[in-house]
Amino acid sequence: FTKDVFTIYEEKSILAQGELMSTAMVNFYLQEQGIKSALLPALDFMRTNKNGEPDQAYIRENLTPLIEELPDVEIFITQGYICRNAFGEVDNLQRGGSDYSASLIGAAIGASEIQIWTDIDGMHNN
């Protein structure tokens, strides 16, 4: 890189790349193993409002059709922590990482339960 300093927007876009690449690799691996999986890009449905809070209605309205289009899929893969803000820019959820993303997704699809398997006790809370 030739830049010494990145804008906050550039930094968030760069940080998002790890999530985007790792979830694509996991999805390809599962498909190679014969598992019916699908990658749901979080940047297509996860959004915060102008106050930086999750836009739950937007998430539900944009996630539900993606899932319904793929009735034969066994496992859905998506990114945690990353989203778009109210202005369409790549952003992040500011807290809780993938645990927080999972709870937002669970609420959006009306899940009766979410399970978070982690190497720390409890739910991470920043």
| Per-residue pLDDT reduced to its tens digit, 6-44 | 888 888 888 889 899 999 999 999 999 999 999 999 999
pLDDT-derived band at 124, boundaries 50, 70, 90: low
| Helix ranges (DSSP H) in the chain | 8-32, 56-68, 97-108
- Output the pLDDT for position 117: 81
pLDDT tens figures, 67-92: 999 999 999 999 999 999 999 999 99
> For residue 67, what are the contacts with CB-CB under 8 A and spacing of at least 6?
40, 76, 109
**For domain 8-108, which CATH number applies: 3.40.1160.10, 3.40.50.450, 3.40.50.740, 3.40.1260.10?**
3.40.1160.10
Higher pLDDT, 117 or 57: 57
**Position 59 pLDDT exceeds 60:** yes
Which pair of tokens denotes residue 122?
């409890």
Would you state the pLDDT for residue 85? 96
| The two three-digit tokens of residue 84, written as one number | 């778009």
The yes-or-no verdict on residue 1 having pLDDT over 80 is no
How far apart, in whole angstroms, are the C-alpha atoms of residue 13 and residue 125?
23
Domain boundaries of the chain, sorted by first residue = 8-108
- Interhelix angle 56-68/97-108, rounded to 10 degrees, is 70
CB-hemisphere CA count at 13 Å for 107? 13
For residues 101 and 83, give the distance between their C-alpha atoms in angstroms, rounded to a whole number: 9
pTM: predicted TM-score of the whole model, two decimal places: 0.84
